[in-house]
């Protein structure tokens, strides 16, 4: 190798090395920024760094969808974990809460239940999840939901964590097992409980509505596109970051 080429190669190497050492993330590749399966799989939690705060995400498939993006955006600022399953409905969450909280000390818990609670299911339905809002049975009555949420909050308040309740995202028209507007009633029940206990609120419902037609996975589906989950993650990260700084 001649001297000019060698100098160029060495100079480039030094430039890259220096660049990586500065942590200039806005110019780095995704491969450099995100190492480890926790940045590609929601259910793979990061290794615990005792120097960083611990954040726990609890919720259904909507929270599963934004988990990885939240981890990426909080990389180096907080270790973001999630429960090892779909949080389903509030009564299910209550039954599993002690297991999910485990022995770890949580700095922030961001949580939601609702979409499963307001879902009508019929074992004879051929829709995914046996959803059937015409002939099905409601998973939880408003009073059952209220009771479960009260008990969940009571359990959370026994931890030292700062709490963020996340409102249930919109139910579109034509959804097979849910009636549009029921999520608003569900949110009002939960919101009243949170305000009574002075718990922070992440109004993801209102945030999603701002761009709902753009971010839906498909018409009549409560789920979101990849772009949609990235959009929701922005709001979750904002709320978590704000709470951590308080």
**CATH number of the domain residue 217 falls in:** 3.40.50.1110
Range of the domain at 22: 1-33
Give the per-residue pLDDT at 35.
67
95 and 124 belong to one structural domain: yes
**Ranges of residues in the chain whose predicted pLDDT is under 50:** 1-25, 28, 31
pLDDT tens per residue across span 85-106:
999 999 999 999 999 999 999 9
Q: In terms of DSSP bridges, do strands 200-202 and 162-166 run parallel, antiparallel, or are they unpaired? A: parallel
Question: Which alpha helices (DSSP H) does the chain contain, by range?
Answer: 3-22, 30-33, 61-73, 90-101, 142-156, 182-197, 204-209, 212-215, 226-245
Contacts for 123 with CB less than 8 Å, ≥ 6 apart? 130
Three-class SS of residue 133? coil
Domain shared by 140 and 170, yes or no: yes
Q: In this structure, are 1 and 107 located in the same domain?
A: no
Pair 24, 43 in one domain: no
- 58 membership: H or E segment, kind and range: strand 54-58
Q: Centre a 10 Å sphere on the Cβ of residue 130 and count the other Cβ atoms it contains.
A: 16
Greatest CA span in the chain, whole angstroms? 80
Burial class of residue 239 in the structure, from the number of CB atoms within 10 Å of its CB (0-12 exposed, 13-18 middle, 19+ buried): buried
Q: Do 29 and 59 belong together in one domain? A: no
Give the pLDDT of residue 217.
95
What is the predicted pLDDT for the residue at 62? 98
- Say if residue 230 is in the same domain as residue 131: yes
Cα atoms in the Cβ-side hemisphere of radius 13 Å centred on 41: 8
54 and 124 fall within a common domain: yes
Q: Tokens for 225?
A: 């596109």
Total of domains in the chain: 2
Indicate the pTM of the whole model: 0.86
């Amino acid at each position: 190798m001649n001297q000019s080429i060698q100098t160029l190669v060495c100079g480039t190497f030094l430039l890259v090395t220096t660049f990586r050492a500065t942590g200039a993330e806005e110019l780095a590749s995704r491969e450099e920024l995100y190492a480890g399966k926790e940045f590609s799989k929601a259910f793979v939690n990061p290794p615990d760094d005792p120097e960083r705060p611990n954040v726990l995400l609890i919720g259904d498939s909507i929270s599963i969808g934004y988990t990885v993006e939240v981890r990426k955006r909080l990389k180096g600022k907080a270790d973001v974990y999630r429960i090892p399953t779909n949080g389903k409905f509030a009564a299910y969450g209550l039954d599993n809460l002690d297991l999910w909280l485990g022995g770890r000390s949580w700095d922030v818990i961001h949580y939601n239940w609702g979409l499963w609670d307001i879902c009508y299911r019929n074992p004879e339905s051929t829709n995914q999840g046996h959803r059937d809002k015409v002939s099905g049975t409601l998973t939880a009555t408003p009073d059952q939901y209220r009771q479960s949420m009260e008990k969940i909050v009571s359990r959370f308040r026994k931890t030292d964590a700062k709490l963020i309740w996340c409102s249930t995202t919109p139910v579109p028209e034509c959804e097979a097992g849910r009636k549009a507007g029921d999520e608003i009633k569900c949110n009002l029940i939960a919101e009243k409980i949170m305000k009574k206990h002075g718990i922070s609120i992440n109004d993801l419902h209102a945030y999603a509505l701002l761009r709902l037609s753009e971010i839906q996975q498909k018409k009549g589906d409560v789920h979101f596109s990849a772009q949609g989950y990235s959009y929701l993650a922005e709001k979750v990260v904002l709320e978590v970051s704000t709470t951590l700084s308080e």
